[in-house]
Chain A
Amino acid sequence: MVKPRTLYEKIWDAHVVERRPDGTCLIYIDRHLVHEVTSPQAFEGLRLAGRKVRRPDLTLAVPDHNLPTTPRRDADGKRISIADPESAQQLAALERNAPEFGVRLIGDADLEQGIVHVVGPEQGFTLPGTTLVCGDSHTSSHGALGALAFGIGTSEVEHVLATQTLLLKQSKTMAVVVDGVLAPGVTPKDVALAICGTIGTAGGTGYVMEYCGSVFRDMSIEGRLTVANMSIEAGARSGLFAPDEKTFAYIKGRPMAPKGADFDAAVAWWKTLVTDEGAVFDKTVVIDAADIVPNVTWGTSPEDVVAVTGVVPDPQSFADPSKQAAAQKSLDYMGLTAGQKMADVAIEHVFIGSCTNSRIEDLRAAASLLKGRHIAAGIKHAMVVPGSGLVKQQAESEGLDRIFLDAGFEWREPGCSACLGMNPDKVPAGERCASTSNRNFMGRQGPGSRTHLVSPEMAAAAAITGRLTDVRELLNNEEGVVA
């Protein structure tokens, strides 16, 4: 009898080019996404060594991190030059390198441009059972479709470009099981934050996660993308969802997805990509869906999670002395005091965007709360940055842009934006932002910026009240139904 295998083990086994005596494997890479920040030095390395890109057809380049989210072309279609010379230089490097090495580039003015992790699934480039890499840690996102996807560094980018392979050691496996039904107002983002809060940012180190249980089965593909995106915040390079009918329906007809008989053949194989009965995970973490509430972060690590109805924790309440010190440092940085109610924390900025929460369902969710409402007087700046040009177009066709604009938000061009503040979209020092992104690290959204990670619904709620707010209060006040 064949040994029962987990989903991860099946994908791994299908990609072993060669197994070395020490257990290291040369793993074939089916998909490579390239963006402008982590690729210039890799292409530079190829050029210096006189090497080529082995499989340009399996490689796709998209700029996202540096692009301004203000218009990029003037009325005549001429590029509006990027003020920051270094951003312009990275963009120019990608625009030079992609054609030189025969790699397809979705450029800054293309409708399909967006954050790589939004573009991959949207274009049908991301497929179940493939190995997918990108020089960006949130590559874990693509696991939502059942791709073994993980972030790599620039040397590995160069290695994949040159050889279409990576030398890897097999990871341990962790099942993250959430069964039950999520309560109203509780979103996939809250599930992701709950996982980070439960296992900690190092909890998944060395593991590939598989998301199991009814909550994940019931979740939409976009919700799964949000959860898989944050696998890395819980320490796991990859997080997998077994592909199912929802996945196949999502992929079918996308521009780069298999067509016709090829699609049917692919689906037949994808259906085998489930963890076998009796397969053993190295670790299992169980969370009850009923225990998950709308969450916010209070500190400077994604594991610093608390219910929005809760209070800022007392650093002394942590068992580990180093965590106590870290918590105190976080509170000082965040300008919060122990015991303060999260729902009393006033905010000045709202950012709806990033590869965690910038897809159409996220925008619909936020817009449903903002409809007929306005941002509070204390909000200095609120903005929506759609994940791609196609998301933006879809939202506009549904009239969501009007809802955001009428509510006092800015409606921007797609890109990473204030998620990491490489472009001009930054949160000023000492000011506080309710953000739908994935990292609340010190200085992440700009030097001295203070970030509270929340769901799109909670970001909208915070914009309306000017403070961190339990979205359920607004749901109850609503005459209509807000789904």
Chain B
Amino acid sequence: MDKLTTVDGRAYPFGMKNVDTDIVIPAHWLKTISRNGLGKGAFEVLRKEPGNVFDDPDYAGSPILIAGDNFGCGSSREHAAWALGDLGIKVVIAPSFSDIFSGNAFKNGILTVVLPQDAVDRLLEVAQGINGTPDPIHVDLESQTVTTQFQDRFTFEIDPFRKHCLLGGLDEIGLTLDQGDVIDGYEARQAQDRPWIVPAAVA
């Protein structure tokens, strides 16, 4: 996983609320057996609308997405995170996220930043451009801040473990496997206390 320390650049001024993962990536894209190439399907339905931000050349390749409340609700498909990652998005900022989506995003090295609605509204303005052309947004994970060139400064909360993993680009499975002994210990206790946990063998 790539390290994520600071992210600088334009942001898609999206802002739509209750965007479910079917909107992020429609079901027919779930047929892939690989993680790559899903950016083409990201927001496919919305992209059929003329003038949508995702096909606006001004925002092509933007590393930040500014979304609305309850972003990523609905299906648990991780393809939503892969699709955003494949689009080049490294940070999603919204007033709230579905639990599953923010977990999936994190596991794929995408930072989800929760900010109050008024802060998100302000960032939407900046992303659209204070003077007509889109202005960049700066996200600093170490200091947990989102800043703009207009003196805006918003701080956000993040789980310390997630922060540690994102900053170091650490692979979660490898970290857990390093704790093989503790898991062995749990399994030994379980075998004593709840031996029936192993499913009956089926002929």
**Which of B81, B100, B160, B183 touches A17 (beta carbons < 8 Å)?**
B183
A13 to chain B, nearest CB (A): 13
Interface size of A by CB at 8 A reads 79
| Contact between chains at B108 and A155 (CB < 8 Å) | yes
Instruction: Determine the distance from Cα of A213 to Cα of B187 in the docked complex, in whole angstroms.
Output: 35
Residues of chain A within 8 A (CB-CB) of B197 are 30, 58, 127, 130
Can you report 17 A-B residue pairs in the complex whose CB atoms are below 8 A from each other?
Answer: A17-B182, A24-B159, A37-B77, A38-B76, A41-B33, A44-B33, A54-B183, A57-B199, A152-B100, A235-B98, A237-B99, A257-B200, A262-B195, A301-B18, A441-B20, A441-B23, A444-B27
Residues of chain B within 8 A (CB-CB) of A170 are none
Q: Which of A144-164 contact B (CB under 8 A)?
A: 151-156, 158-159, 162-164
Interface stretch, picked from B58-66, B126-134, B139-147, B171-179, is: B171-179
| Contact between chains at B179 and A154 (CB < 8 Å) | no
Q: Which of B133-162 contact A (CB under 8 A)?
A: 159-161
Q: Which 10 A-B pairs give the minimum distances between C-beta atoms? A: A86-B31, A153-B78, A258-B196, A40-B33, A155-B107, A153-B104, A262-B196, A151-B76, A137-B76, A256-B199
Q: Judge if B41 is at the interface, Cβ distance under 8 Å.
A: no
| Contact between chains at B31 and A87 (CB < 8 Å) | yes
Interface stretch, picked from A201-209, A284-292, A347-355, A396-404, is: A201-209
| Contact between chains at B78 and A159 (CB < 8 Å) | no
| Contact between chains at A326 and B18 (CB < 8 Å) | yes
Please give me the residue from chain B that is nearest to A151 by CB atom.
Answer: B76
Q: Judge if A259 is at the interface, Cβ distance under 8 Å.
A: yes
A257 to chain B, nearest CB (A): 6
| Contact between chains at B77 and A326 (CB < 8 Å) | no
Q: Which of A226-241 contact B (CB under 8 A)?
A: 235, 237
Please give me the residue from chain A that is nearest to B190 by CB atom.
Answer: A28
Question: Given A137-B75, A201-B70, A269-B194, is A442 in contact with B23 using a C-beta cutoff of 8 Å?
Answer: yes
| Contact between chains at A41 and B35 (CB < 8 Å) | yes
| Contact between chains at A201 and B179 (CB < 8 Å) | no
| Contact between chains at B172 and A18 (CB < 8 Å) | no
Instruction: Determine the distance from Cα of A136 to Cα of B74 in the docked complex, in whole angstroms.
Output: 10
Residues of chain A within 8 A (CB-CB) of B11 are none
Please give me the residue from chain A that is nearest to B73 by CB atom.
Answer: A201
**Which of A49, A66, A206, A326 touches B31 (beta carbons < 8 Å)?**
A66
Instruction: Determine the distance from Cα of A83 to Cα of B186 in the docked complex, in whole angstroms.
Output: 46
Instruction: Determine the distance from Cα of A202 to Cα of B190 in the docked complex, in whole angstroms.
Output: 35
Please give me the residue from chain B that is nearest to A448 by CB atom.
Answer: B45
| Contact between chains at B76 and A422 (CB < 8 Å) | no
Q: Judge if A93 is at the interface, Cβ distance under 8 Å.
A: yes
Instruction: Determine the distance from Cα of A420 to Cα of B31 in the docked complex, in whole angstroms.
Output: 12
Residues of chain A within 8 A (CB-CB) of B160 are 22
Please give me the residue from chain A that is nearest to B1 by CB atom.
Answer: A155
**Which of A18, A37, A124 touches B200 (beta carbons < 8 Å)?**
A124
Residues of chain A within 8 A (CB-CB) of B34 are 40-41, 44
| Contact between chains at A167 and B161 (CB < 8 Å) | yes
Instruction: Determine the distance from Cα of A38 to Cα of B80 in the docked complex, in whole angstroms.
Output: 12
Q: Judge if A89 is at the interface, Cβ distance under 8 Å.
A: yes
| Contact between chains at A159 and B172 (CB < 8 Å) | yes
A433 to chain B, nearest CB (A): 15
| Contact between chains at B77 and A38 (CB < 8 Å) | yes
| Contact between chains at A153 and B17 (CB < 8 Å) | no
**Which of B22, B161, B195 touches A22 (beta carbons < 8 Å)?**
B161
A10 to chain B, nearest CB (A): 13
Q: Judge if B68 is at the interface, Cβ distance under 8 Å.
A: yes
| Contact between chains at B77 and A153 (CB < 8 Å) | yes
Q: Judge if A443 is at the interface, Cβ distance under 8 Å.
A: yes
A149 to chain B, nearest CB (A): 12
Q: Judge if A322 is at the interface, Cβ distance under 8 Å.
A: yes
Residues of chain A within 8 A (CB-CB) of B45 are 442-443
Please give me the residue from chain A that is nearest to B180 by CB atom.
Answer: A163
**Which of B17, B76, B176 touches A165 (beta carbons < 8 Å)?**
B176
Q: Judge if B9 is at the interface, Cβ distance under 8 Å.
A: no
Please give me the residue from chain B that is nearest to A325 by CB atom.
Answer: B17
| Contact between chains at B173 and A202 (CB < 8 Å) | no
Please give me the residue from chain A that is nearest to B174 by CB atom.
Answer: A49
Residues of chain A within 8 A (CB-CB) of B23 are 441-442
Question: Given A155-B108, A269-B194, is A104 in contact with B32 using a C-beta cutoff of 8 Å?
Answer: no
| Contact between chains at B190 and A125 (CB < 8 Å) | no
A260 to chain B, nearest CB (A): 10
Residues of chain B within 8 A (CB-CB) of A155 are 78, 104, 107-108, 172
Please give me the residue from chain B that is nearest to A158 by CB atom.
Answer: B173
Q: Judge if A265 is at the interface, Cβ distance under 8 Å.
A: yes
| Contact between chains at B30 and A37 (CB < 8 Å) | yes
Q: Judge if A266 is at the interface, Cβ distance under 8 Å.
A: yes
| Contact between chains at B31 and A90 (CB < 8 Å) | yes
Please give me the residue from chain A that is nearest to B198 by CB atom.
Answer: A57
| Contact between chains at B176 and A159 (CB < 8 Å) | yes
Interface string of A258-279 (1 = CB under 8 A from B): 1100110110010000000000
Q: Judge if A255 is at the interface, Cβ distance under 8 Å.
A: yes
Q: Judge if A103 is at the interface, Cβ distance under 8 Å.
A: no
Residues of chain B within 8 A (CB-CB) of A20 are 161
B116 to chain A, nearest CB (A): 15
Residues of chain A within 8 A (CB-CB) of B159 are 22, 24, 169
B106 to chain A, nearest CB (A): 9
Q: Of B23, B174, B176, which is in contact with the most chain A CB atoms at under 10 Å from its CB?
A: B176
Residues of chain B within 8 A (CB-CB) of A58 are 197-199
Interface string of B65-106 (1 = CB under 8 A from A): 000111001111110010000000000000010111001100
Residues of chain A within 8 A (CB-CB) of B202 are 104, 123, 255-256
Q: Judge if A26 is at the interface, Cβ distance under 8 Å.
A: yes
Instruction: Determine the distance from Cα of A418 to Cα of B28 in the docked complex, in whole angstroms.
Output: 13
Question: Given A41-B33, A158-B173, is A206 in contact with B99 using a C-beta cutoff of 8 Å?
Answer: yes
| Contact between chains at B18 and A26 (CB < 8 Å) | no
Interface string of A12-31 (1 = CB under 8 A from B): 00000110101010101010
Q: Judge if B26 is at the interface, Cβ distance under 8 Å.
A: yes
B95 to chain A, nearest CB (A): 11
Give 11 A-B pairs besides A167-B161, A167-B172 with Cβ atoms closer than 8 angstroms: A41-B33, A49-B173, A49-B174, A93-B33, A127-B197, A153-B103, A153-B104, A202-B73, A235-B98, A442-B45, A443-B45
